Amino acid sequence: MSKKAVFSLTALSLALGSAPVLAQSETADGFIEGSTLSLINRNYYFNRDFRDGESATGNGYSEEWAHGLMAFFESGYTQGSVGIGVDAFAMLGLKLDSGSGRSGAGGSIDLLPHDSAGDPEDDFTRVGGAVKARLLDTEIKAGDVFPATPVVHFGDARLLPESFKGVTVVNNSLDDLTLQGGRLHAMSQPNTSNTNDDFVTFYGGAVDAPWLGYAGGDYSVNENLSFSLYTSRLKDAWNQHYFGLSATYPLSDVVALLGSFNYYKATDEGRELLGEFDNNIWSSSLGVAFGAHTVTASYQRNNGNNDFDYLRQADSIYLNNSIQYSDFNSPKEQSWMLRYDLNMAGYGIPGLTFMTRYARGWGADYSNANEVYMRQDDNGAPLTGQKRWERDVEARYVVQTGSFKDLSLRVRQATTRATAFESDLNEVRFIAEYPLSIL
């Protein structure tokens, strides 16, 4: 481990250890008693085999194995009409196995950062925190934050999670209604130490946008019906609006029908940093849960002339057919998916689950795409009639009792095949995660 990594972790450990002591001498009851300190160990192996050789290293193969340590401190609130508190985190990523020839700058695995030569670095750290205030049923945070909404959602599908810099507000004054809003001015990528990076989108790339604002809410009508409504603006790039609906209809004690609907409307904004566009994309699903089994079918369609875009490595895409690798969000693309889930608790093995799904997309057409999202063939003509499919298999086990309670072991395999607009690949991920509650 580098001296820089050791120093960063040591400094934050002292900060986390001393913050409650200082607060105890200055604040009233509640700041200490409401504090939590947790540590998450995450071991991550990622292997991606590009069948057509389009990897960052040029040999069609990417592989990284790393271990992440994440410490999260959340204080309680001081007493009084306005309670004050702090949150802080320290993260360390350690390379266990990779190197030039198997990983390179510009790749999509994104477990580790890369040096000036393009080789994966041995370690990296990230440190951050936020000040928070609570007034009645409203919580305000300023600093490093982790918003979780359909229009901006921090990503947690790599070694270390993303974070954003800015201000967020959450209100729970009314039963079954949660209102959220925020204004963000920077983000982190999962494989960097910097928490103050510019905004980057998955398909359009880096965007010189000064801020990202969002607002909306989630409402549970009853235990079987809920819906969400959100809007957001990535200044000078896009306006995005979202509507979502989720429903369950019990037929008996062991059988229930499941349904969902998701809709996004995206238009260009301001300086049009991502070009002109007017997209709408939607997905719907219908399934049945019976005992330990769940079978779901879904359909998705992008009616726009450009890719439906979102922040890079974020989870800000609440569409049924956005899965392990493919999003099925190309212009004019339609897709269907069939998914099967099995919960082995019904067979006497609680904590063990399986999932498999198959999705197929067709009709992707870049004839009217703008210059940012345009994809062309070797002759410079827009790609049309593009299609793809993806098959995923996943198994997960969470230890239920004993010293290793909550230890999660998860293996994910994906196979995709596509025409010229996407890569063919085989992918394997193994993720072991062990959370510890210290306070």
pLDDT at position 16, please?
39
Q: Would you say residue 306 lies in a domain?
A: no
Rounded mean pLDDT of 257-275? 98
pLDDT band at 50 (very low <50, low <70, confident <90, very high): confident
Q: Would you say residue 181 lies in a domain?
A: no
Rounded mean pLDDT of 189-203? 95
Rounded mean pLDDT of 182-188? 97
pLDDT at position 6, please?
40
Rounded mean pLDDT of 96-116? 84
Q: Would you say residue 134 lies in a domain?
A: no
Q: Would you say residue 20 lies in a domain?
A: yes
pLDDT at position 12, please?
40
Q: Would you say residue 211 lies in a domain?
A: no
pLDDT at position 182, please?
98
pLDDT band at 53 (very low <50, low <70, confident <90, very high): low
pTM of the complete model: 0.90
pLDDT digits (tens, 9 = 90+) for 112-123: 999 888 889 999
Provide the domain count of the chain: 1
Domain that holds residue 73: 1-126
Q: Would you say residue 336 lies in a domain?
A: no
pLDDT at position 11, please?
41
Rounded mean pLDDT of 96-119? 84
* Reduced 3-state DSSP string for the chain: CCHHHHHHHHHHHHHHHHHHHHHHHHCCCCCCCCCEEEEEEEEEEEEEEECCCCCCCCCCEEEEEEEEEEEEEECCCCCCCEEEEEEEEEEEEEEEECCCCCCCCCCCCCCCCECCCCCECCEEEEEEEEEEEEECCEEEEEEEECCECCCCECCCCCCCCCCEEEEEEEECCCCCEEEEEEEEEEECCCCCCCCCECEEECCCEEECCCCEEEEEEEEEEECCEEEEEEEEEECCCEEEEEEEEEEEEECCCCEEEEEEEEEEEEEECCCCCCCCCEEEEEEEEEEEEECCEEEEEEEEEECCCCCCCCECCCCCCCCCCCCCCCCCCCCCCEEEEEEEEEEHHHHCCCCEEEEEEEEEEEEECCCCCCCCCCCECCCCCECCCEEEEEEEEEEEEECCCCCCCCCEEEEEEEEEEECCCCCCEEEEEEEEEEEEECC
Q: Would you say residue 274 lies in a domain?
A: no
pLDDT at position 54, please?
63
Model confidence at 9: pLDDT above 70: no
- Using alpha carbons, list the distances in angstroms from residue 41 to 69, 72, 89: 5, 12, 14
Q: Would you say residue 140 lies in a domain?
A: no
